[in-house]
Structure 1
């Protein structure tokens, strides 16, 4: 069984895209967040997999994420992103999912073909990684049937520092240390600062 994980923040003014809001304001940053969330939703719906949406604060059954397409859950309450991802992957692994991938909800360049490639490559690779130009990653996935070691998730996600330009490289090094095969997806742009929205600004404002 295949599963796709998406993390989102409940869209509250002043609490999403804060780096972007520093230059375009809270209201406009919230507009960008809604635009990107809708894009992520449309991409995910095209994928033939079980789709799990993990909310940051509370489950919203009246938002754009139709519960007919998305299984809604809460993120682990830890403030640490790595712990949140570790908990989500572990939960789906324990539910019997073989191939599980997480995608970011703030990458306008992502499309369903990239996700399909990721799941297809997990047939022959233990891990897939979608690096971002800022040094992070917009997607990471695992084939739990191929993973012989149970501590890879621990080493990839726990006791890590996030939001710096070596996040993807650190993940690659950890995977290599365990001797697992990694397939790298295309490098894409996340949206963090105003320069990141230039290609689609006119679609929002």
Structure 2
């Protein structure tokens, strides 16, 4: 099996465009700064995992991301469309592990565990507290996971798991994590409010 690609979706931390649901609580500058810290944390853990990083970006040209995050990264502009369209576009070639950039409790150990399972031929899901997922690892194309999905709802994880099981695939589950999206999430991670 080929090396597992770690695909990370992120956006440039422009005030007013990043972490917009947090703006009422911490302002546009604060939300952008928090997004910057989360992305940097995600990238540090990704680098520590030793996986090949494929950064999928939006909101600024590639050069702005290289200036911010450094060299040694594969950086590609995200495709147009909803999350399903962007996941489908980034799924080839497998094996692939998808994560976002808003996971304060992400660790390199979780990424290594997921990659080991994928290399062993397992499909992997990391359930999120909000009913979605924070990680999805695939050994082969699975476009059926990205079509007609009610993104950003509490149904995403259950529907993804059901679609896999409907095709005879029993996914390996990673520990449940929470993302930082809403003002009430901020009290859980005081280090983010620096």
Name the structure 1 match of 2:107. Answer: 111
Q: Write the distance in 2 (CA, Å) between the matches of 1:61 and 1:112.
A: 22
Offset, 1:45: 0.6
Q: Could you tell me how far 1:24 is from its partner in structure 2?
A: 2.1
Assess, with a 3 A threshold, how the Cα gap between structure 1 residues 34 and 25 changes in structure 2: closer, same or farther: same
Written as runs of structure 1 = structure 2, the 5 A alignment for 1:8-19 is 8-19=10-21
Count the aligned residue pairs: 190
Residue 154 of structure 2 is aligned to residue 171 of structure 1 = no
Name 1:127's counterpart in structure 2.
123
Query: Where does residue 72 of structure 1 map in the other structure?
Result: 75
**Any conservation in 1 of the 2:96–2:139 contact (CA below 8 Å)?**
yes
Q: Distance in 2 between matches of 1:36 and 1:61?
A: 14
| Greater fraction of residues in helix | 2
- Per-residue CA deviations over 1:163-203 (Å, capped at 9, x if unaligned) read 11111111101111111130000001101112212133245
| Distance in 2 separating the partners of 1:156 and 1:65 | 30
TM-score norm. by structure 2 comes to 0.91
Consecutive unaligned residues in structure 2, runs of 5 or more:
none
SS of 2:144's equivalent in the other structure is helix
Does structure 2 retain, via aligned residues, the 8 Å contact 1:17–1:33? yes
Q: Secondary structure at the match of 1:20?
A: helix
CA contact 2:4–2:118 (8 Å) conserved in 1: no
Q: Do structure 1's residue 182 and structure 2's residue 171 form an aligned pair?
A: yes
What is the SS of the residue equivalent to 1:198?
helix
Shift of residue 26, structure 1, vs aligned partner: 1.1
Distance 2:170 2:191 in 1: 41
Specify the SS of the correspondent of 1:139: strand
Q: Distance in 2 between matches of 1:138 and 1:186?
A: 10
* CA RMSD of superposed structures (Å): 1.6
Q: Which residue of 1 aligns with 2:138?
A: 142
Tell me, in whole angstroms, the C-alpha distance in 1 between the residues paired with 2:97 and 2:184.
28
| Uncovered stretches (5+) of structure 1, i.e. residues with no partner | 145-149
